[in-house]
A and B are shown apart, each in its own frame.
Chain A
Amino acid sequence: MANLPLAVTSSALRPPRGLAARLDVPRRVTLIAAGLVVLLVGLLLAFIGWNGIQIFTATGASLTDVFAPIWSPSSTPARFGILPFVFGTLGVMVVAALIAAPLSIGLAIFMAEVAPPWARSITRPAMEVFVGIPSVVYGFLGLTILVPFLRDNFRGIGFTLGFSWFAGSLVLALMILPTIASIAYDTLITIPADLRSGSLALGTTRWQTIRHILLPAAKTGLLTAVILGMMRAAGEALAVQMVIGNRPTIPTSLTAPMTTLTSQITLDMGNTVSGEPWNQVLWTMGLVLLLMSFTFVVIVRALGRRASQP
């Protein structure tokens, strides 16, 4: 009894040499696949960043040359102020959000609170199809239907061309509507049912419950939905370019043509030669867009953290 060969048993049970490392191979391989995205962010920043600062480092322009209101790249001396584009991008983004936010949040409330099952079984798949429609199709619809419509019927109030700030915003609003609605809907259905029944038990109407209980509870999530929609609007290129008129000046009214960062890159990239200032400033515009979208992500994350706090 006293002579049980304990040491021998445990060494026989010890796994063979290298087994632990072999078992760890799948974890390492999948980690590399998942980590690729970190490499991609690095490469994006490096390539867009490097090309984006050439106008300053190689050509010697100053920040005030580039962030200026006059764009006239073929005059002498050439002027490369990108403020009209920055204004355009922010302008269509804000107006599109103002149009789309009430409609899409209303739609989300409808799907989450009001719709009977048969109506929900129509609206939800419809949203998914809507999200999937390619943006170039929205641009095409804007170009062939909206722009002529504005020109023919509203020439009197300033739509002399049809191509305008408003047309761009409306096309974008239609494009981001399903995006905002889906995310807002996801937020609304995660609100605990207790809040709803508690309020209704006090004798409130459905609308009172929605307005005073559900909307305040979902505030942060709804804001996130709108910001994600705005992010999509700011980054859209072709749909906007087709309807906005592409005039590189800061517009004085919603009916006037204007242009955006994305539109100008789309139009000019193919017509300029690598190394010339005109081309360099297009990369700077790309860098501005990249930093803008990263800022949005940081804002959305901050909102998410606030929402998860009790």
Chain B
Amino acid sequence: MTTLRRTLLADRIATAILWAIAIFVVAILLAIIAHFLLAAVGTLGPAFLFGDPSESSVGGIGPVLWNSVYMLVLTLLITVPLGTLGGIYMAEYAGEGQITNIIRFCQELISSVPSIVVGLFGLALFVNATHWSYTALGGALALTVFNLPLMSRLAEQAIRAVPDDERSGSLALGSTKWQTIVHVVLPIAIPGLVTAVILTAGRIFGEAAALLFTAGVSTPTHYDFGNLNLTDPRSPWSPFHTATTLSVYIWKINSEGLGDFVRQLADASAAVLVLLVLVFNLGARALGRLLQRRVTGA
């Protein structure tokens, strides 16, 4: 009887501990989000989001926010087509074989590389070897290095999830494999592909270490958006402008720590970053579900 009682007691205690762990972890997450919302509530506004940085007051984060968006778009322009094509190969053409194994192994290797090492690689290749100095393009290429395998794997999963009946139906009508992929498989895979793009985007937005030595860390003072000369490194539209992003900026102001307003600036900047990443994540789920309903007609 005592053994039974002890067994039942152990079960109760274990259940309680597991509940406690779950509540603790969710509470931490909620505390983090609440912390940033509260810390930013006085500062966050159009003047902060779109204004220029200042040496003597909180100022704004307009240029670094611009750089984050610019870098995101540039990286996605390179990563999404290449990653989707790679995913198509892995899902539709690759069989079991030596080539498939090597590609998969290399995808895992690249995913494991610390982002600071990717930054060093970018410094050697896209800054020094090309003589570009610190540029948005160099940063975007460095980001491509470790987001390409991610995008490729997510695209592969999205394409694999398309039922084989769809393929057989199309092939039975006499279309080629490529026609089947383009006109039947990809449209059905779109919800999964969109989710893949947004998840990749969230990671690109938050990345900092790989950009320190590739896109630069200098604080931009003011951007002249009227300058549309794409080869002029001073133009914010040029892929060759030095592009300190929001994530890098947060690290930089914290490591320099000048003035009383820095804490306020750092809090609000981090809040913007967390909220944007949150929007990316929740947006990915919502959009994925919405498109799913559209495509399947359910």
User: Which A residues fall within an 8 A CB radius of B?
Assistant: 23, 25-27, 29-31, 33-38, 40-41, 43-44, 47-48, 51, 103, 106-107, 109-111, 114-115, 119, 122-123, 125-126, 128-130, 132-137, 139-141, 143-145, 174, 177, 181, 205-208, 210-211, 231, 234-238, 241-242, 262, 265-266, 269-270, 274, 283, 286, 289-290, 293-294, 296-297, 300-301
Q: Quick one: which of A27, A47, A297 contacts B108, CB cutoff 8 A? A: A297
- The B117-136 residues at the A interface (CB cut-off 8 A) are 117-118, 120-121, 123-125, 128
Q: Quick one: which of A41, A174, A242, A297 contacts B28, CB cutoff 8 A? A: A174
A-B contact list, 13 entries, CB within 8 Å: A33-B89, A37-B110, A40-B106, A106-B18, A106-B22, A128-B285, A133-B206, A144-B267, A206-B14, A235-B115, A235-B116, A286-B116, A294-B109
Knowing A114-B19, A269-B213, say if A237 contacts B114 (CB, 8 Å): yes
1/0 contact trace for B3-34 toward A, CB 8 Å? 00001101100110111011011101100100
Q: Quick one: which of B26, B90, B112, B267 contacts A293, CB cutoff 8 A? A: B112
In the bound complex, CA of A177 to CA of B7 (Å): 30
Binds A, one of B56-64, B226-234, B272-280: B272-280
Residue B243, interface by CB 8 Å:
no
CB distance from B194 to the nearest CB of A (A): 16
Residue B263, interface by CB 8 Å:
yes
CB distance from B61 to the nearest CB of A (A): 14
In the bound complex, CA of A18 to CA of B14 (Å): 68
Q: Quick one: which of A30, A37, A103, A242 contacts B93, CB cutoff 8 A? A: A30
Residue B77, interface by CB 8 Å:
no
Q: Quick one: which of A34, A231, A286 contacts B112, CB cutoff 8 A? A: A231
Q: Provide the residues of chain B in CB contact with A23, threshold 8 Å.
A: 176-178
Are B212 and A35 in contact (CB-based, < 8 A)? no
CB distance from A27 to the nearest CB of B (A): 5
Q: Quick one: which of A33, A34, A265, A297 contacts B120, CB cutoff 8 A? A: A265
Across the interface, name the chain A residue whose C-beta is closest to B85: A33
CB distance from B131 to the nearest CB of A (A): 13
1/0 contact trace for B69-88 toward A, CB 8 Å? 00000000000001101111
Residue B209, interface by CB 8 Å:
yes
Are B103 and A34 in contact (CB-based, < 8 A)? yes
Knowing A30-B88, A40-B145, A135-B206, say if A242 contacts B22 (CB, 8 Å): no
- The B246-298 residues at the A interface (CB cut-off 8 A) are 247-248, 250-251, 254-255, 263, 266-267, 270, 273-274, 277-278, 280-282, 285
Q: Among the interface residues A37, A123, A242, A286, which one has the most CB atoms of the partner chain B within 10 A?
A: A37
Across the interface, name the chain A residue whose C-beta is closest to B7: A205
Knowing A137-B273, A208-B7, say if A290 contacts B113 (CB, 8 Å): yes
Knowing A40-B145, A48-B124, A265-B116, say if A34 contacts B266 (CB, 8 Å): no
Q: Provide the residues of chain B in CB contact with A126, threshold 8 Å.
A: 25-26, 29
Are B11 and A266 in contact (CB-based, < 8 A)? no
In the bound complex, CA of A107 to CA of B114 (Å): 26
Are B21 and A266 in contact (CB-based, < 8 A)? no
CB distance from B129 to the nearest CB of A (A): 8
In the bound complex, CA of A262 to CA of B128 (Å): 21
